[in-house]
Amino acid sequence: MARTLRILGQARLAKLAAVWDQPQPDWARRRLQVIRLAAQHELSAAQIAAATGVSRASVFNYLAAFEAEGVAGLLRRGHSGGPKPTVRGAARKAFVAQLRRGRFRRAKEAQAWIRGRTKKSLALSSVYTILRKAGARLKVPRKTHAKKKPAQAKAFPQELPAKLTAATVEAGARPVRLWVLDEHRYGLLPVIRRCWGLRGVRVHVPYATRYEWGYLHEALEVDEDNKVELLFTPTINQDIHALFLRQIAESDPAAWHVVIQDRAGFHLAAGDARLPANLRLVPLPPYSPELNPVEKLGDLVKDAICNRLFKKLRTLEDAILAELEPLRRSGARVAQLIGDGWLLQQANAGAPK
């Protein structure tokens, strides 16, 4: 049989109204609201519970406390707040710092770290809970070269305006076009990536070992028209790199071109006689691909050709071109890849006045 809500005394309700007008924490405000709704006798206990976000049993518990001891009993909390977390305070800050650096490959390593820091041994299930509460997720790490110099990579965005100013000293009145450049190897050896499938059903993709490949040279214009230049070649060396730089320079012979690129051994260095007369280079710090937005284009290509088997390079190149066609047609799509972050801001800061 359903329980009914009893009539509450007017004197107690008057005290409740006075307390209601005072600042209260969320949990106290919720309890007061339950009693106010119950006093109106317009909603059932289940409806009050749904309206206030508590259980139906809590509605009757709050009513019993209010009837027995008034507002003071209603707002008395009967628990001490639960056990204290194992990883808290300075230990939690240090734990999050380790996560930010990607120091834990497995939950067992986090478990060992917690044991060493707190002298407490936790089950792996508890460690997983701590990891989730700290905002941790399993991620595929991005490779970083052992020879990378993080200080140089960090300083490059701040140094870029001065580097661009130096690279455009000879530009005169000519318009300046800024490019970012890179290359990606593609081949008939299939690229395997994750794909959607049903739970419990193994997904298969065709695969065959074929060692034929080529190189895609790409350059994206950072600002202005956001053009894209592409070149497919069967091999890669400094002469071919010079050919691609000439293609960029000849895309607008009247302009002064500045190309940001990495320090690959097959890239031309500043001062090389093969450099076009209207083109200058700005090298990236060693092993810092995250500073080059052209890397995103490589992901687009791999997404387009992954989990597919190509028998001829020409067919593979046609698939790559089809994927990149929106970039060739729309500068807005190129601008999306460049983004509106530090590169665009610093490029504008270093633009000729």
For residue 319, how many other CB atoms are within 10 A of its CB?
16
pLDDT confidence of residue 23:
87
Q: Among candidates 193, 235, 236, 232, which has minimal Cα distance to 314?
A: 232
pLDDT confidence of residue 79:
66
The more confident residue out of 116 and 9 is 116
pLDDT confidence of residue 4:
60
Q: 166 — phi, psi (to 5°)? A: -65, -35
pLDDT confidence of residue 147:
86
pLDDT confidence of residue 116:
95
Query: Rounded CA gap, 251 and 219, in Å?
Result: 12
What tens digit of pLDDT does each residue of 66-97 get?
Answer: 888 888 888 888 766 667 889 999 999 999 99
Residue 202 has pLDDT above 50, yes or no: yes
Facing residues of 230 across strands?
Answer: 218
Given pLDDT bands bounded at 50, 70 and 90, which one contains residue 3?
low
User: How high is the mean pLDDT of the chain?
Assistant: 90
Look up the pTM and report it.
0.67
Given pLDDT bands bounded at 50, 70 and 90, which one contains residue 279?
very high
What tens digit of pLDDT does each residue of 225-275 get?
Answer: 999 999 999 999 999 999 999 999 999 999 999 999 999 999 999 899 999
pLDDT confidence of residue 293:
93
Rg of the Cα atoms in the chain: 32
Given pLDDT bands bounded at 50, 70 and 90, which one contains residue 24?
confident
What value does the mean pLDDT take over residues 94-115?
A: 93
CATH for the stretch 155-349:
3.30.420.10
Among 111-115, 146-150, 211-215, 252-256, the minimum mean pLDDT is found in: 146-150
Residue 6 has pLDDT above 80, yes or no: no
pLDDT confidence of residue 1:
43
What value does the mean pLDDT take over residues 121-135?
A: 93
Residue 13 has pLDDT above 70, yes or no: yes
Q: Among candidates 283, 183, 276, which has minimal Cα distance to 230?
A: 183
Query: Rounded CA gap, 335 and 325, in Å?
Result: 15
pLDDT confidence of residue 84:
83
